[in-house]
Amino acid sequence: MNKPIVSQLLSTPAAHREWEQEYAATIGTDKNVINRSGVAIEPLYTERDWSAAEHAGELGLPGQPPYTRGIYATMHRGRTWTQRQLIGMGTPAEYNERLMEVLAQGATAVSLIPCNSVFRGYDMDESHIELLGTCGTVVNTADHMDRALQGVDLARTSCAMNDPSPFTLLAFMLATARRRGTDWRQISGTSNQSDYLSHYVANHMFFRIALPGARRILADHIAFCNQHVPKWNPMSVVGQHMQQAGANPAEAVAFTLSSAIQNAQDCIARGMDPDDFLPRFTFFFDISVSFFEEIAKFRAARRIWARVARDRLGAKDPRSWRFKFHGQTSGVDLTRQQPLNNIARVTVQAMAGILGGLQSLHTDAYDEALSVPSADGARIAVATQNILREEAHLTDVIDPLGGSFYIEKLTDDMQAEIERIVKIVDDAGGMYQAVESGLVQRMIGESARKFQRRIDDAEQTVVGVNAYQVEEDSSARPINPRPNRDAMQTHLDSFKAFKAQRSQAAAQGALDALVRAAGDPRDNVFGRVVEAAEAGCTHGEICHTLRRELGFGHVQAIV
Amino acid sequence: MTHGSLIPKILVTKIGFDGHDRGSRVVAAALRDAGMEVIYTPPWQEIAAVVKLAMEEDVDVIGISSLATDHLIVPKLMVALRSAGLGDVGVIVGGIVPDREEQVLLEAGVARVFHPGSAMADIADFVHGLAERVRARRIAA
């Protein structure tokens, strides 16, 4: 009688030895393979590395702690990810036009990227006109937000605002909702850039208020939203900036979890119950082209967060343990050379995110390494998601790679590496202090340089950059759009007219209340920001007031 | 490539609103490792502040990193440098610069634009040669 099939599939010691010998004889000198997190990778994984019998408790089923296989019982089979393309350019009217196109093409939620001048805390009349609207929409007042979101039902459409401290965009949106008679309790979405620590670490465009003030405003923001806008996610903990700045995948997750722990502890220290605010914590990650590693990254992150939330932060409600995340395909991986190749990179990145169990996805346009995406580039990015969701059968099965010897071992290794780095941050006094002292910035800078050296030395292939180069016709490159200068000038003129015509007494009164709130820890700064937005105050006025009261956030020069 | 004993002095900085500083940090470290004297600033410098620092530090070269359209105000920097009597300082730009706008920068007097994927060694070689030309022009003047 034949042996049962199962024993033929499992490698007996003899079979394993036989494979090892044949492998060694065939391969000659084996390469030393390490992944992007620096972990050594074996040529083959078997039940010696991971077995379901031993590790079942580390997996759980989908929707069951520790959520390695997904945070919901149905995952993408029930509801696929939210298709959320980041958009923002030009004036609010131009943004609205693009928004309507993206919604018509299949996007299911709104996002708004403001102009870099907004990120930096300035109004449009304080900025170089050359830079207005080139990277995002110029939204400085509640009127601007109302125009940008014309035709969008705020009670039914999830809106993500790229809105760093002090969250004026959400304030403008709440003011808009009040005008339209929309109940704040129906408004859903996310403050995408609420993680001031990640801004301080990875700089990016944000940086407005000194660390202690930014820390307080975030806690005020969380408390306010919990009470008045309960469907809103006030906290998006951001690993994306760090990985874009050079952190490897394990570091990016470790620093992000450390930030989440810090923010949660700050809220707990104010007397808040973790089960009141943790269900509204979300995470935001970069997805690199390192396919398997990214999948393992997300699986490990879910597992660690479930335990941190329960054991370390004391949350009792399972909703607090669920690691919800938005993924964005990595722009750093995209190349200027042979830009159409980026469509392949974005596809691989997006697949890693989907197989990693994400809740919401932005796919980059192939021409992002050239400039702000063209309309064609943006359309293909949306189509890529549609293809992956509806043609490729990726969503038929939940966690389809679960149980793979390699993926599970990689997930375990990733977990160990993340926990090692979290410990380094803990030993430094927590994320706030580790950022204040520059420790995190130095670690990220070192990883960025290591990776650059691997590319310069051609240890890491980048197609079109250090291998497979071709002569390229620069005229074949897409022409990237720049905002219409005349439309921007008209927008600027009407902004100046608005400021001259509004009730100055009401605006000044609201700014005075903001000053008092900044000096009174029992008051809620974000609540006063919302009142200021409703009183006609501008973004710049609100930011300048808080900067004056709470100090300017200077950045350390760490090379 | 080998160079003489000249130690170039370069200011690596960012003007405008964007703060993506991975590129400026990596390039600053690479030039420092290549033996140059590197003055590095955080992002978001005002044009006037860059001119002042270039003057006080007597740099040969200014490297501007631009990932999010800040290169659009580099022509303003070139004008400000000339008005301050620093027209001889070499200026390079690195980052995301579309072809059409690269031409505008070169016409404004920028010595070269480095695009994503540039090798650190190439940047170091170019800065070295540029600094030699800047010093030679200064001696001639």
Residues in Cβ contact with A473 at an 8 Å cutoff, skipping those fewer than 6 apart = none
Q: What's the pLDDT at A53?
A: 84
Contacts of A452 in chain B (CB under 8 A): 26, 30, 120
Does A205 sit within 8 Å of B96, measured CB to CB? no
Percent of chain B past pLDDT 90, that is, above it, reads: 79
Contacts of B76 in chain A (CB under 8 A): 128, 130
Q: Using only C-alpha atoms, what is the Rg of chain B?
A: 14
B16: left (phi over 0), alpha (psi -120 to 50) or beta: left
> Is A547's Cβ below 8 Å from some Cβ in B?
no
Contacts of B99 in chain A (CB under 8 A): 474-475, 477
Q: What's the pLDDT at A486?
A: 94
Q: What's the pLDDT at B92?
A: 98
Structural domain boundaries enclosing A430: 54-456
Q: What's the pLDDT at A207?
A: 64
Tell me which chain A residue has its CA closest to the CA of residue B42.
Answer: A557
Q: How far from the centroid of its chain's Cα atoms is residue A390's Cα?
A: 24
Q: CA-to-CA distance for A61 and A546, rounded, in angstroms?
A: 47
Q: What's the pLDDT at A206?
A: 64
**Residue matched to tokens 């890529």:** A384
Would you give per-residue pLDDT tens digits along chain B (141 residues)? 456 678 999 999 999 998 888 899 999 999 999 999 999 998 889 999 999 999 999 999 999 999 889 999 999 999 999 999 999 999 999 998 988 899 999 999 999 999 988 999 999 999 999 999 999 999 988
Does B121 sit within 8 Å of A116, measured CB to CB? no
Domain count, chain A: 1
Tell me which chain B residue has its CA closest to the CA of residue A450.
Answer: B26
Which value does ipTM take for this structure? 0.87
Does B44 sit within 8 Å of A207, measured CB to CB? yes
User: Is residue A520 domain-resident?
Assistant: no
| Residues of chain B numbered 59-118 and touching chain A (CB < 8 Å) | 68-70, 72-73, 76, 96, 98-100, 115-117
Does B43 sit within 8 Å of A244, measured CB to CB? no
- Cβ burial, residue A156 (10 Å; 0-12/13-18/19+): exposed
User: Is residue A443 domain-resident?
Assistant: yes
- DSSP category for residue B69: S
Q: CA-to-CA distance for A197 and A184, rounded, in angstroms?
A: 28
The pTM is what?
Answer: 0.87
Percent of chain B past pLDDT 70, that is, above it, reads: 97
Across the interface, of B19, B68, B70, the residue whose CB is closest to A207 is B19
> Is A463's Cβ below 8 Å from some Cβ in B?
no
Q: What tokens appear for A372 in the block?
A: 């702000």
Return the bridge partners of A112, or none: A161
User: Is residue A355 domain-resident?
Assistant: yes
* Residue ranges of domains in chain B, CATH in brackets: 9-140 (3.40.50.280)
Tell me which chain B residue has its CA closest to the CA of residue A480.
Answer: B98
Task: Spell out a b/e string for A270-305, using b for 16 or more CB atoms within 10 Å of the CB, else e.
Answer: eebebbbbbbbbbbbbbbbbbebbbbbbbbbbbbbb
CATH at A256: 3.20.20.240
Give pLDDT tens digits for A257-277.
Answer: 999 999 999 999 999 999 999
Does B20 sit within 8 Å of A244, measured CB to CB? yes
Q: Which of B3, B32, B31, B27 is nearest to B135 (CA)?
A: B3
Q: CA-to-CA distance for B13 and A307, rounded, in angstroms?
A: 43
Residues in Cβ contact with A393 at an 8 Å cutoff, skipping those fewer than 6 apart = none
Q: What's the pLDDT at A556?
A: 62
User: Is residue A263 domain-resident?
Assistant: yes
Cβ distance A272 to A244 under 8 Å? no
Amino acid of residue A31: K
User: Is residue A472 domain-resident?
Assistant: no
Chain B interface test: which of A115, A118, A337, A371 (most B C-beta within 10 Å): A371
Across the interface, of B22, B41, B120, the residue whose CB is closest to A245 is B22
Contacts of A121 in chain B (CB under 8 A): none
**Which regions in chain A score pLDDT beneath 50?**
1-8, 559
User: Is residue A405 domain-resident?
Assistant: yes
Q: What is the nearest CA distance from B110 to chain A, expressed in angstroms?
A: 18
Q: What's the pLDDT at A109?
A: 81
Q: CA-to-CA distance for A313 and A308, rounded, in angstroms?
A: 6
Across the interface, of B40, B69, B116, the residue whose CB is closest to A336 is B116
